[in-house]
Amino acid sequence: MSKLKIAIFLSGRGSNFEAILKNIETKSLDAKIECVVSNNPNAAGLNIASTYNIPTYTFSPKKFKNTEEYEEAILSKLSNHPIDLIVCAGYMKLIGPTLLNAFTNKIINIHPSLLPSFKGLNAQKQALEYGVKLSGCTVHFVDSSLDGGAIIRQVSVDVKEGDTEETLSKRILKQEHIVYSNVIQLFAKGHITIKNRNIIIN
């Protein structure tokens, strides 16, 4: 079976991207990262891509008239590659209809909370402020809503007394680095079926 061809979308540090790269290197993930797309020219994740000689495409959304034109520019670069799956890894921009229509059920995201709790920014801070005893991370398909697409897999993490945003984020991130590659591998092997909001893993 040929490798799953991935485009990574990121805006920042890229630790999830790096974890995926490492899992590909150690052959626990049958995938190939074709390219990295970023809306932030200063994203540290772009340096990781350069280290691995992975093509990067950076776009400034502000330079485009609207999201449609921005995403059409992304699509024209993606068309240079045989992309099976878009993996959002800290991509801090809502995906619009242009990309969603071109990659229906082929865009996934990871979010640092147990969705549907604590959508949006600073999910770990939201969880601490709310006072939950369990948080975690969620891998989900991307749809037009904010962090609202069908849930593929979740991992729970204890919230401990005295946790700060930093300590909780670190504990969750450790799990993110494992579960994201696991889900991508399931996708690569065709084990994920989407039926409305219900994901069946076989």
Annotated active-site positions, please?
111
Strands 192-195 and 134-141: unpaired
Choice between 36 and 74, CB closer to ligand GRF: 36
What DSSP letter does each residue of 135-152 carry, written as one string?
A: EEEEEEE--SSTT-SPEE
Tokens 């921009």 sit on residue: 93
What string marks each residue from 32 to 51 as x (binds ligand GRF by CB under 6 A) or -? -------------x------
Residues 174-193 that bind ligand GRF (CB under 6 A): 176
Residues 93-122 that bind ligand GRF (CB under 6 A): 110-112
> DSSP class of residue 161?
T
Q: Mark out the alpha helices in the chain (DSSP H runs).
A: 15-25, 44-51, 67-78, 97-102, 123-130, 165-188
The least CB distance from residue 2 to ligand GRF, in Å, is 26
Cβ neighbours of 50 (radius 10 Å): 11
Contacts of 16 by beta carbon, 8 Å cutoff, 6+ apart:
10, 89, 90, 110, 176, 177, 180
The residue with its CB nearest to ligand GRF is: 90
Choice between 7 and 110, CB closer to ligand GRF: 110
The least CB distance from residue 66 to ligand GRF, in Å, is 24
Residue 147 binds to ligand GRF (criterion: CB under 6 A): no
Question: Which residues here bind ligand GRF, judged by CB under 6 A?
Answer: 10, 12-17, 45, 89-90, 110-112, 137, 173, 176
